[in-house]
Structure 1
Amino acid sequence: MRITRLLTAVVVPAALLLPASAGTAAAAPVGSYVALGDSYTSGPFIPVQRLDPIGCARSTANYPSVVAAALHPGRFTDVSCAGADTTDLTRPQSVPAGGTNAPQLDALRFDTGLVTLGMGGNDYGVFGTLTSTCPALRASNPAGNPCEEHFSSSGTDTLSAALDNIGPRVEAALAAIHERSPRARVLVVGYPRILPEQGYCPDVLPFADGDYAWLNGIEEKLNLMLSDAADADGKAEFVDTFGPSRGHDACARGGAAWINGQHQNVFAAAAYHPVQAGMAGVAAVVLKALS
């Protein structure tokens, strides 16, 4: 998801800290692993942040790093970057603090053995539009669905319609990945659950009560679009993290949440983004798919 402001965070070179293994069943040996993705892959503010470049908000404890620590590939390259959409796979991405992230597909090589792709939510500004618009509308009708009504005022749910256009972009991205790395196993990693199946927590997720179900539907459709793109590609595999993250949404109590709520925490996670436990949870799901 897109980060609109990048606050100062503690950073160290990636080689100084690698997370421990996720402790799942052993997967097949991997010679080279490349991780592509947006901020739900890079891990904004999750300690410890890398410098290459700092504006990508790439954590040494994000799920690709946890997966790599478990697989011990001969070469691990993480080029995920906050704010990335599918167009940033093939063009340089300008990031905060004056940096640039090279086209993510440039990290692929002919002998790459594993690729994870976690991307799509930033295309057409879907996630950023939701998080910047919906909280402000809660006060107008706390028990209703003012955000859904806002985006459906023309008679068409414009955000839901935008999701229909993301599928072809992801399919094109997968084709380009296969072209550059024809031997690679390619996993399309979905987005974990943000909102609860039932109930509300406006102190954590400040959306109107009636918008929770609609927002869940938007995320479900996004994940379905990613799954359909992998199916249409015929070679890639979709890794569902929405189902396995049930009970780990941002409203979950007692440290069970995989997702941070509305409050930015520069020592833990960006607003509406995974916390370190969430990255570990997603990594476990990916490793299970690989085992």
Structure 2
Amino acid sequence: MSVRRFRASASALVLAAVTALGLANPASAAGTTASTSAGTAAVGGYVALGDSYSSGVGAGSYIADSGDCRRSTLAYPYLWAAKKSPSSFAFVACAGATSASVAKSQLSALRPSTALVSVTVGGNDVGYADVMRDCVLSTEATCLKSVKTAVSRMNKSLPSGLDSLYRGIHAKAPRAHVVVLGYPRFYHLGGGCAAGLSEAERSAINRAADVLNGVLAKRAADIGFTYSSVVDEFTGHEICSRAPWLRSVAFPVHNSYHPNASGQAHGYLPALRSAL
């Protein structure tokens, strides 16, 4: 067996892991809302929207009633709210969310008085779960083709979905400071991974993340939202680095390809702070 491929006995675990990347339960997206003391840093309240990178999948310590949305007390929105004590905090981000499902299931948490909104979304719109499945389980050629398809979606279909969502956020919370956070590059190139994907595959996945982040930044700027990259924060802490803040294939499988607790606390939280 080539060192870059897992044994057949591990294939079921890997497939489950990459499927978990796109896990969605829109019915659970009504959210966990917690009120905190008034007279604080975000007068008017803070609403955390988005997908698994905002809900905290991979960080552990999931809130019991958040179900398959897997909202974590170690996720950056929860950490920020615990530190800054906004007048109210609505944590409605959900694993597997797309721009359409955020618009449908999460925007009810917004109010005209909402002062701060954060959101991560876009990865599920372009099929990142499919990309990782193809790259882990198939040939290099299949992987690169899958990445190319995802990049095409980023450039062609994603912008309209983001525009629609962002307009919806602005309509429901017209005075809010809206922070759109990006995604990290997955891989530290030339790092310590002895098996798994080839460098060509890892490079292609990283380049795709750059394209995705570019689209997010452009659509956010066009409507007047603040875009905050997390690439700098995660540099040196990607998969295959000495101290990764991102999980590769993990158990439980829903944690795979997501930031761990350090990634939330030292990657995403500083990126949110820097945008305020």
Partner of 1:96: none
Q: What one-letter code is carried by the residue in structure 1 that aligns with 2:249? A: Q
Q: Stretches of 4+ moved more than 6 A in 1?
A: none
Identity rate, percent: 31
Partner of 1:241: 230
Question: 1:190, 1:228 → 2: CA distance?
Answer: 11
How far did residue 200 of structure 1 move? 6.0
**Is 1:115 aligned with 2:123?**
no
Partner of 2:250: 263
Question: 1:169, 1:202 → 2: CA distance?
Answer: 38
Partner of 1:162: 153
Partner of 2:98: 85
Q: What one-letter code is carried by the residue in structure 2 that aligns with 1:150? A: K
How far did residue 149 of structure 1 move? 4.2
Query: 1:133-182 CA deviation, whole Å, 9 max, x = no partner?
Result: 11112xx4xxxx42444338xxxx32211111212211221111110011
Query: 1:41-87 CA deviation, whole Å, 9 max, x = no partner?
Result: 11225331113331111111101111112221010111000011011
Aligned length: 245
8 Å contact kept, 1:67–1:283: yes
Question: 1:240, 1:33 → 2: CA distance?
Answer: 20
Partner of 1:272: 257
**Is 1:171 aligned with 2:163?**
yes
Partner of 2:63: 50
Q: For structure 2, which runs of at least 5 residues remain unmatched after alignment?
A: 1-17, 25-31
Partner of 2:271: 285
8 Å contact kept, 1:85–1:123: yes
Secondary structure of the 2:77 match is: helix
Secondary structure of the 2:64 match is: coil
8 Å contact kept, 1:260–1:275: yes
How far did residue 15 of structure 1 move? 9.5
Question: 1:219, 1:246 → 2: CA distance?
Answer: 13
8 Å contact kept, 2:58–2:261: no
Question: 1:81, 1:237 → 2: CA distance?
Answer: 21
Secondary structure of the 1:49 match is: coil
Secondary structure of the 1:218 match is: helix
Question: 2:158, 2:194 → 1: CA distance?
Answer: 29
Q: For structure 1, which runs of at least 5 residues remain unmatched after alignment?
A: 7-13, 19-26, 92-102
Secondary structure of the 2:46 match is: strand
Q: Root-mean-square deviation (CA), in Å? A: 2.5
**Is 1:127 aligned with 2:122?**
no
Secondary structure of the 2:160 match is: helix
Question: 2:213, 2:194 → 1: CA distance?
Answer: 24
Q: What is the TM-score when the length of structure 1 is the normalising length?
A: 0.77
Question: 1:90, 1:224 → 2: CA distance?
Answer: 21
Question: 2:114, 2:144 → 1: CA distance?
Answer: 46
Q: What is the TM-score when the length of structure 2 is the normalising length?
A: 0.81
